[in-house]
Each structure stands twice: as structure tokens, then as C-alpha cells.
Amino acid sequence: MRGWLPAGGGLRDEDWTRRHRLLTLLLAVIVLALTVYGYTQDRLDSAWLFTVGLILPCVVGAVLLRPRRLPSIFVAVGLTIACGGFVAMSGGQTEAHFAFFIAIAALALYRDWTPFCVFLVGTTLHHAVFGALVAERTYDHHSAVARPWLWAVVHGCAVLAAATFQVVAWRLTEAEERRAQDSLAASQAQLSVAFDETPVPMAMIAPDGGLLRVNSAFRGWLGLPEQLAPGYSLADLPVTPEGTETGTLIRQLMSAPDATTTITQAYRRHDDGSLMWVETHSNGLRDRRGRIQSVFLHCLDVTRQQEHEAALRRQVRQDSLTGLLSRSAFEVDLVELLGASDGPVSVLYLDVDRFKAINDGSGHSAGDDVLRALAARLELTVPRGSVIARLGGDEFVVAHPGPVASGLETGRAVLASLAQPLPVTGGRLQLAVSIGLALAHRPEQAEQAVLAADTAMYAAKRAGGNRLEIFNDEMRVAVQQRITAESRLRQALDGDRVATLPVWFQPIVSPATGLIVGAEALVRMWTTEGELLAPGHFIPTAEETGLVVPLGEHVLAEALRHLHRWRHELGYVSVNVSPRQLSEPDFVPKLARMLAVSGLDDPSRLVLEITETALLSNSLDLRNRLHAIKALGVRIALDDFGTGYSSLTWLQSVPADIVKLDRSFVAGLADDTRKASIISAVLWLAHSLNMSVVAEGVEDLADWEALRAAECPAIQGYFFSPPVTADDFHQMLTPARGVTLEAA
């Protein structure tokens, strides 16, 4: 039986106090309500006075007495008296008895058997005793007046029935609370295991920074005792945050608006003074009003990670070979130097003269020794506080506050210091440099100043080297033109390339038949002002800036597209490939992909023109790269043949298919027997090597006829046609339908 009944008394003190305060207040309000009722019904008689006189001591007892049971009994007695008094004041009306049912529900809030049973007993006694003594003021019907004890039992049973459902609700609530408590206990046990046993340092802190709870990993990490003293807080930890106060850090954790906040902070350990970096992930626990109750901290020691990142930052800022600043670090420091300087800043750009000869003659390790020795000499020579960097290769730059005179003095000091040989492995080496000088006054001029100094350095190199040149207005015009060309080219590449960078075609003609056998693809550029620029206005800038790589890919793609379009009308299209483009590691794989998607049936219809400059300046294994291109089926043409001192050597070593005679050999051919002899010899040599020849720059009839008489396979020049648009070229192809590749 006991297992089916509620145990009672399960409320927490704060919950019981809240409910008792409510019921005590209800009892006091009932006194006022009975008084108002008596006044309005003209019933302020002895029954009212007797009832109120008994309730008031119960209210006082409920307020003053401790602990729980006695004050709750006073409330139960008071409610019993109030219900009985209300019945007496109403003349025993049946509806007045409803107050007992309301009171029993109110007393169920205590969830305690004592006040509950006191009220049930009091209700029964009231109906029996008062029903017998003052029946007319207890019941309003004759049957109850005649049998008060019977009706007392009836009313008591009715109240008891109402109370039964309160007891059932009470019992069910206790069962549900017990299950919730069991679930909470299990969850807390799991949380405790997860919190205490995890190897990651964790802690819970109060809004004032006090440590509510820490796990064993946290204690072991900071060397804390097993039991922390009461009131132990973050300020008492054996570490101190660097650059901020503990109170500021606590406020930062408490005021974080996000559910999860990450703070990376350096701390100084008290035991050995070492610095450690901690990444703290905090989760704020808030009440329904959004007020912070506690913060859960999840700490990660990221000291090694921070040290690694710092090392990487140093590597980014430092040139690995010389120990000087890197290019990116110099750009940042130069802006800072200009911002901090009241006057101008001198920028000196240095380049080692004939450094390639050192690498080729003594090897790259010797070249590295020279660069390290030069860096050391610069650090000893330039004024203290200067910013020195190696930009790459054999190029260095120096910046220090001061006017032109100061920059000149520094540049001359560098030249003078290099008059003394540099100590390198295996001996000493005499070195010369070319220096360019420019001034900058504001941070936004930093990039332009380096570019200007670079331009002046090239002027010094063209003047013979081992000297210093100051950037002047003539150089400024050249720089501005270069900047404008770069800006225009970038805009064109970022837009619709087919529209902004149209590819034109110049016919290559067989002098024997007069038919078009091929074409050379030549790019043009439309400016935003509507001006059409020839390649000479932007190709040099493209080479210097590296934009020639995307530009060359565009021209190559357009050439392949038109080759597919003219697959029945045109033999081949040749495309110029710059040294910079050819040196790209992924050039051959990219070419293979473009051929695959172009739909070109015969890859030999594509000819790549390379210059002798590419052969001379490329330090990669060019032979292997050219053979890889040949393996794709693409043909190779040696452009501008005859302009280099070793052109005949290239005929033997380069796997070329076509030789393009430079226009300097063709112009005036008809009137120069020496040129005719040279061209005849080249034609014979190319034929013996199974190569074809294209003569460039043919501009008059006499040269055309001379080349035809010499049986030159193909010619190209303004005599036949200048470069024209793709549509115009298509119109030119109409009478030449059916031309085959063998004609080339």
C-alpha cells in the first residue's frame, strides 16, 4: 500500500518556502475577502468575528513558526476555519461548501501528508460538530440538519474523493521527478567521467572568474593541487596573460556574444618564466534571461604551433640564401619606412653584372657564395637603419631615409666597397654591380619607386655596368608607358579575351603557286578608348610581368579554334611561343590538353615558333621539352633565323621542322648577291636536314621573284598581305580551297 502512495516532503527548501509564502498570502487575503463579503451581504456578525479572530493567529503562526510542518499545519487549520466560517456566514448554502474543495487543492501544493490530513479531519469535524450544534448555519436542507454526522461523513468523503485525485497527481509527479532525477544523475555521471577523464585541460568558471570545477588534465597541465582552496580564481593560476590583465580576460570571456568563442593568448609561467600559447574555446551557460551563469573552458596548448608559425613568418620575411629581407617583407617595410620618415627615402636597385657567367663558369654553388658575400658587404656598407633585401636572383634593393645626395653617397660607397674582391669559397672574386636610384616621398609611392630604381638600374647596365644612374624624366615616360601597357593588358585579359585581344592572321604563301599554305597568328589589343594596338605596344610588358603566359594561352586557343574552322581550306597556323611561356613547367601538359579539346584531326597543322633568345636564356632541359612537343605531333619553327651568332648550330641541335629567315636577309635580296648566296645556302642546308623554309618580310615584287627563283617553299610579308582579321582572312582563303599540308 505504501508503494502506491506518495512519500511526501520531497520539495526543496526554496520550493517549499515559495509555496508556503503563496498559501500564507492566500490565507491573509481570505480574511480580507470574508470581510468584504460580510459587508456586502450585511453579515458582519459573530460568525464573521469568530472566523476572522481564529484565522489571524493562524496567519501569524504560519509566518513566524519554523520549520516546515508546524507552519503548514497552521495554514491547514486556517483554511479549515476560513471554509467553515464562509459556510456559516452564507447560512449553510450548499455552494459555500465548494470552498473546501478549493482548499484541499491548495494544500496539495505542500505535497505533505500532515497539513493534508489535518484539513481532511478538520473538514469532517466541522460538518459533524457544527452540523449538530448550529445546523441551520451549516446545512441548508432538512436531511442534513436531522442527520449531521451522516452528512459530515458524506461531505468528508466528497472532499476525500477530491483529495484522492490530488494524491494521484502528487504520486505521479513524484514518479516523474524520480525518473528525471535518475536521468539527470546518469547524465551528470557521464559528464563527470567525460570532464574528469578527458586528456584535454578543461575548467568551469563563475562570472567573477572563480574556478567552479577543473579536471585532472587541467590540474596536471598547470601543476595545481588535487583540491583547490575555496574562492580559487583565474587570477590565482600560476600563469599570467601577456599584454593584458586577468580581469580584462575574464570580462572578455563573460561578454562574448557568441555561443562559442575562441581566444588565443600568450601566458607567462611563474615557475620557469617560459612563454606558452593557449587557445581557449569558451561556451557561456546562460539563464532564461540571458544572464551568464558560468563559462566552460576548453584549453589547448598551441605553443609549438605558434612557434612553428613564427618560424614560417620569419622564413617568409627572410631570404633563405642571404639572410636579408625577402621581396614581400621589403615591400611591407618600405611602406612603413615611408610612413615614419618626414622626408624622402632613397631606393637603390642593384644587379650584379655578368652574374650568369659566374654561374655558368663556376657553378651555382659558387654563385650562391657570391650572393652571400655581396649581402654581407652591403650590410657593412649601407647606413645603419637601412632596409636591405634580396629581390631574387642577383637583384638587391636598399632603402634608407635621405635625399638624392644621400642616395648617391650610399650608391658610390657600394661601388667603392666592391672594388675590393669578395671572399668566396676557394679564393676571392672581383664583382661589379649596376645601380639605379630613385626617390619616394609617400607610402603609396613605394611600388613606383622600386620600379623607377629598377628602370634606372637597366639604364646603368646598358651604359656598360659598374655605375649608378639616377631615375630621370625620360625614364619616367618609359615607366609610365610600361605601367599603362600593363594596366591595359590586365584589363584585356580580365575581360572577354576574344573581343579585347583579337587574333589576326598573316598569310604564308607558296611563291610557286601563289596559294596560301599557312598563316601566322598575331595578337592585337583593343583599349578602352577604342584604339587598336599592335604587339609592340604590349608584348615587351607582357614578357616582363609574366602576363605573356595567359596571353600566349589565349593566342594558342584561338589558333586551334580557327584551325578547326578552316580544316578544309588551310594547311597550318604558326603561333609564337615566348621564352617565358616555354619555361613554364606545365607548358607541354597544357598544350596536350588544348589539342585534345580542340578537335584538331592532325596536330602537325599547328606550328610553334621559338626564337634563338628562348634557346639561349632557358636554363631548363630545353631539348627534352622540345622533343616532348614533337611527340604530340606539333611542328616547331625556328623564328628570326640568322640574327644570332650561332644560328647554324641550332639547326643541328634543335628538332625544328621549319626555318623562318629573318627579314634582314630578305630585304633587298634582288640587288644583293651576297644575300642571295646566303639564302641559297640556307635553303640547301634546310632541305638536306628535311626542313622547310619560310622567308619573312617580303615587301616588293623583286624580292618575291628572287625567292621564287631560288625555289623558297614559302614566303610571308606585306607584299602579299599584312595581318588581317579572321573574317578577312577567311575571305582570302576562298580561292585557295583544297590546299594541302604538303604544299608547305
The boundaries of the domain holding residue 48 are 2-175
Q: What is the pLDDT of residue 619?
A: 45
In the chain, what percentage of residues exceed pLDDT 90? 34
**Cα–Cα distance measured from residue 556 to residue 651, given in angstroms and rounded to the nearest whole number:** 25
Residues 278-331 have pLDDT tens digits of 988 888 787 777 777 888 888 888 888 888 877 777 667 788 888 899 888 899
The answer to whether the beta carbons of residues 280 and 298 sit under 8 Å apart is yes
* Mean pLDDT taken over the chain: 84
Q: Which helix or strand (DSSP H or E) is residue 629 part of?
A: helix 622-631
Looking up residue 444, the CATH number of its domain turns out to be 3.30.70.270
* Eight-class DSSP state of 228: P
Q: What would the grid cell of residue 114 be?
A: 500532515
Q: What is the pLDDT of residue 11?
A: 76
* Beta-carbon contacts of residue 594 (< 8 Å; ≥ 6 apart): 553, 556, 557, 560
Q: Please tell me whether residues 439 and 497 are part of one structural domain.
A: no
Domain presence at residue 563 = yes
| 247: pLDDT strictly greater than 70 | yes
| 565: pLDDT strictly greater than 50 | yes
Residues 7-52 have pLDDT tens digits of 556 678 888 899 899 999 999 999 999 999 998 888 888 889 999 9
- The runs of H, that is alpha helices, within 418-538 are 446-462, 473-494, 497-500
Q: What is the pLDDT of residue 8?
A: 58
Q: Please tell me whether residues 432 and 505 are part of one structural domain.
A: no
Average pLDDT over residues 560-567: 94
Domain presence at residue 192 = no
CB atoms within 10 A of CB 486: 16
Gyration radius of the chain over CA positions: 50
Residues 638-683 have pLDDT tens digits of 887 766 544 566 676 678 899 988 888 788 777 777 878 888 888 8
Q: What is the pLDDT of residue 425?
A: 74
Domain presence at residue 193 = no
Q: Please tell me whether residues 275 and 405 are part of one structural domain.
A: no
| 738: pLDDT strictly greater than 60 | no
- Mean pLDDT comparison of 124-128, 363-367, 514-518, highest-scoring range: 514-518
Domain presence at residue 478 = no
Q: Please tell me whether residues 267 and 131 are part of one structural domain.
A: no
Better pLDDT: 122 or 520: 520
Average pLDDT over residues 526-547: 88
| 590: pLDDT strictly greater than 90 | yes
Domain presence at residue 314 = no
Q: What is the pLDDT of residue 357?
A: 72
Reported confidence tier of residue 443, pLDDT bands at 50, 70, 90? very high
Tally the C-alpha atoms within 13 A of residue 480's C-alpha that lie toward its C-beta: 7
Q: Please tell me whether residues 276 and 242 are part of one structural domain.
A: yes
* Beta-carbon contacts of residue 120 (< 8 Å; ≥ 6 apart): 104, 156, 159, 160, 163
The answer to whether the beta carbons of residues 693 and 518 sit under 8 Å apart is no
Reported confidence tier of residue 215, pLDDT bands at 50, 70, 90? confident
- Least confident range from 468-482, 548-562, 575-589: namely 468-482
The answer to whether the beta carbons of residues 127 and 148 sit under 8 Å apart is yes
Q: What would the grid cell of residue 146 be?
A: 436531522
Q: Please tell me whether residues 553 and 611 are part of one structural domain.
A: yes
Looking up residue 613, the CATH number of its domain turns out to be 3.20.20.450
Residues 168-197 have pLDDT tens digits of 777 777 677 777 777 777 777 776 766 777
In degrees and rounded to multiples of 5, residue 88 shows phi and psi of -65, -40
Q: Please tell me whether residues 150 and 241 are part of one structural domain.
A: no
Q: What is the pLDDT of residue 743?
A: 39
Residues 140-153 have pLDDT tens digits of 777 777 777 777 77
Q: Please tell me whether residues 164 and 207 are part of one structural domain.
A: no
Which residue type, as a one-letter code, is found at position 292?
Answer: I
Of 246, 277, 307, the last residue of a domain is: 307
Residues 374-425 have pLDDT tens digits of 999 999 999 988 999 998 888 999 999 999 999 999 999 999 999 888 888 7
- The 3-class secondary structure across 492-522, one letter per residue, is HHHCCHHHHCCEEEEEEECCCCCCEEEEEEE
Domain presence at residue 83 = yes
Of 471, 493, 519, the last residue of a domain is: 471
Q: What is the pLDDT of residue 618?
A: 46
Sign of CA pseudo-dihedral 224, 225, 231, 236:
negative
Angle of helix 622-631 relative to helix 587-598, nearest 10 degrees, comes to: 10
**Strands laid side by side in the 468-470 sheet:** 387-392, 395-401, 345-352, 433-440, 468-470
Find cell 590540474 and name the residue.
219
* Beta-carbon contacts of residue 91 (< 8 Å; ≥ 6 apart): 136, 137, 140
Q: Please tell me whether residues 334 and 430 are part of one structural domain.
A: yes
Q: Please tell me whether residues 295 and 324 are part of one structural domain.
A: no
Using CA atoms in the order 394, 395, 399, 402, what is the torsion angle rounded to 10 degrees?
A: 100
Sign of CA pseudo-dihedral 254, 255, 259, 265:
negative
* Beta-carbon contacts of residue 731 (< 8 Å; ≥ 6 apart): none
* Beta-carbon contacts of residue 21 (< 8 Å; ≥ 6 apart): none
**Cα–Cα distance measured from residue 237 to residue 221, given in angstroms and rounded to the nearest whole number:** 11
Average pLDDT over residues 77-93: 89
Look at the chain and report how many structural domains it folds into.
4
Degrees to nearest 5, angle at CA 263 with 260 and 268: 145
The pTM (predicted TM-score) of the whole model is 0.48
Q: Could you write out the DSSP letters of every residue in 563-603?
A: HHHTTTT-SEEEEE--HHHHT-TTHHHHHHHHHHHHT-S-G
Q: Please tell me whether residues 511 and 643 are part of one structural domain.
A: yes
Q: What is the pLDDT of residue 646?
A: 43
Q: What is the pLDDT of residue 642?
A: 64
Q: Which of 55, 58, 52 is nearest to 37 (CA)?
A: 52
Of 446, 471, 496, the last residue of a domain is: 471
CB atoms within 10 A of CB 346: 27
| 362: pLDDT strictly greater than 70 | no
Q: Please tell me whether residues 463 and 489 are part of one structural domain.
A: no
Better pLDDT: 72 or 176: 72
Reported confidence tier of residue 613, pLDDT bands at 50, 70, 90? low
| 439: pLDDT strictly greater than 90 | yes
Q: What is the pLDDT of residue 552?
A: 93
Reported confidence tier of residue 737, pLDDT bands at 50, 70, 90? very low
Domain presence at residue 108 = yes
Domain presence at residue 184 = no
